[in-house]
Amino acid sequence: MTPNRVTIEDVAAEAGVSVATVSRALRGLPNVAPGTRERVLATAAAMSYEADPNASRLAAGRSRTVAMAVPVLNGWYFAQVVAGVEAVLSESGYDLLLFGVTSDASRTRFLSGPLRRRSDGLILVDIRIPALEIESLATQKAQLVTVGFQAEQFPSVRIDDLSVARSAVAHLVGLGHTSIAIMAGLPDDPLRFTVPELRRQGYLEVLEEVGVAPREEFDVAGNFSIDGGYEAMAKLLDLDDPPTAVFAMSDEMAMGALVAARERGVDVPGDLSVIGVDDHDAAAVVGLTTVAQAVSHHGSVAARLLLDRFEDPDAAPVHHCNATKLVVRSTTGPPRDT
C-alpha cells in the first residue's frame, strides 16, 4: 500500500536543511526565513512529498479527523446529516470516520475506543448518552457535538420537537380530526433519545388542549422505517374503531402507512389523513403532508460547531435550534363524517 515513500528526511537532505526546518516550513509556522521556506516548499513539491498522517498524528496528537456516529446508516435522515457533515469537513481538510452505532455496547466502544485517540472530535446523531457518561466526557474535555438532542455541556443542533409535534397534530385537529393515532419508534429502543418523547409529548398536549382523551391503542411503534410504518398502520387499521388520522414521527413511517392504507383500499385523505416529519425527498412525490426540517443543514451546522470548538475549546457551548415548517400536501384532509 505504501511503495516508495519519500520521507521528511529525504526532503531535508535535498533542500540542505534539517528536518525540523522542513516541518516548520511545510506547516507555515513562523521562524523560517522566507528564502528557506520557499526552497523547502519547492523541493517538497518536486519530490511530491506528503507527510505521513500516522506519523504526524502520533507526534502531534492531532489527526484532522472527525468521528461521527449515527444509529441507522441507511435511513434517509441520517444519510442527509452525514452528507452535510462531510461537505463541511472536507472543505476544511478534515477526514470523516463514520460509525453505525446500534447498541449500548457499540456506543461505548465509539465513545471510549480508539476513536477518542484517532479523531480530534466527535459528532453524535440521535444517540442517547446517559447523564453520567456525558459528565465523564465533559470532565475529559472531549470535543463533542450532538445532533438531535442537547446536553448542556456540549454544542448541539436540533429542532424544536415539541412544536414539531404540536403543529402536526394541530393541523389534524384543525381539519376536524379527533381520532388521531401516533406512530413512534420502537418502545424499547435503547438509542433513540428525546426525539420520540418530545414528539409524543407535543401530541398529548394538543389532544389534551382540545379535550380528546388519548387512546393507548393509538400509540404504535413504527421503528422510523417504511416497513415499520407499514406494520404499525396495519395494526391501526385492524382496530374495531380505527383512527381517522395518523401523526407519524417520520416521513418514512408515514410512507409505510400510506402503502398499508392503499393495500386495504383505505382512501387517503378521505378515510385517513397521514402526516409525517422531515420532508423526505420522496414526500413531494407521494404528496405527503409533513413538518419539514432542513436535515442536511443540521449536519453542516454540527460540523461547523465542532470546527469552531477546535479553535476555541473553552467557549460556552452553542446550541442551535433549526427552524421547521408545516408543508401541507394531499395526504391530509377533513375526516369523512365532518
Partner DNA sequence: TTGAAAGCGATACCAC
Partner DNA sequence: GTGGTATCGCTTTCAA
* Site for a copy of itself, rule CB under 8 A: 1-5, 48, 50-55, 57-58, 61-63, 65, 72-74, 76, 78-80, 82-83, 86-87, 90, 95-100, 106, 112-121, 140-143, 226, 252, 255-256, 258-259, 262, 280-282, 284-287, 296
DSSP assignment of 267-316, as one string?
-TTTT-EEEEEE--TTHHHHT-EEEEE-HHHHHHHHHHHHHHHHH-TTSP
Pairing of strands 273-278, 319-322: unpaired
**Spatial distance between the Cα atoms of 100 and 67, rounded to a whole number of angstroms:** 11
Position 291, amino acid: V
Contact status, residue 261 vs residue 236, Cβ threshold 8 Å:
no
Compare residues 21 and 223 and give the one whose CB is closer to DNA: 21
How far does CA 143 lie from the centroid of its chain? 17
Among 35, 187, 211, 265, binds DNA (CB under 7 A): 35
Nearer to DNA, 11 or 70 (CB): 11
Cell triple for residue 31? 521562524
234 is a site residue for DNA (CB under 7 A): no
Among candidates 271, 277, 182, which has minimal Cα distance to 221? 182
**Choice between 35 and 211, CB closer to DNA:** 35
Among 1, 3, 5, 139, binds DNA (CB under 7 A): 5
- Give the x-and-dash track for 39-58 against DNA (CB under 7 A): ----------xxxx--xx-x
Residue 312 burial (CB < 10 Å; 0-12/13-18/19+)? exposed
Residue with cell 446517559: 130
Select 51 or 101, whichever has its Cβ closest to DNA: 51
Beta strands in the chain (DSSP E): 65-70, 95-100, 121-125, 144-147, 156-159, 180-184, 219-221, 245-248, 273-278, 289-293, 319-322, 324-327
Out of 17, 221, 248, 249, the residue judged to bind DNA by CB under 7 A: 17
Pick one of 9, 38, 135, 238: the residue that binds DNA (CB under 7 A): 9
Q: Which is nearer to a copy of itself, 189 or 205 (by Cβ)?
A: 189
Name the binder of 76 from DNA, a copy of itself, none, CB < 5-8 A by kind. a copy of itself
Q: What span, in angstroms and rounded, lies between the C-alpha atoms of 174 and 169?
A: 8
Q: Report the residue number, 3 or 28, with the smaller CB distance to a copy of itself.
A: 3
Shortest distance in whole angstroms from residue 10 CB to DNA: 7
Note the residues at the interface with DNA (CB under 7 A).
2, 5, 7-9, 16-21, 23-24, 26-27, 30-33, 35-37, 49-52, 55-56, 58-61
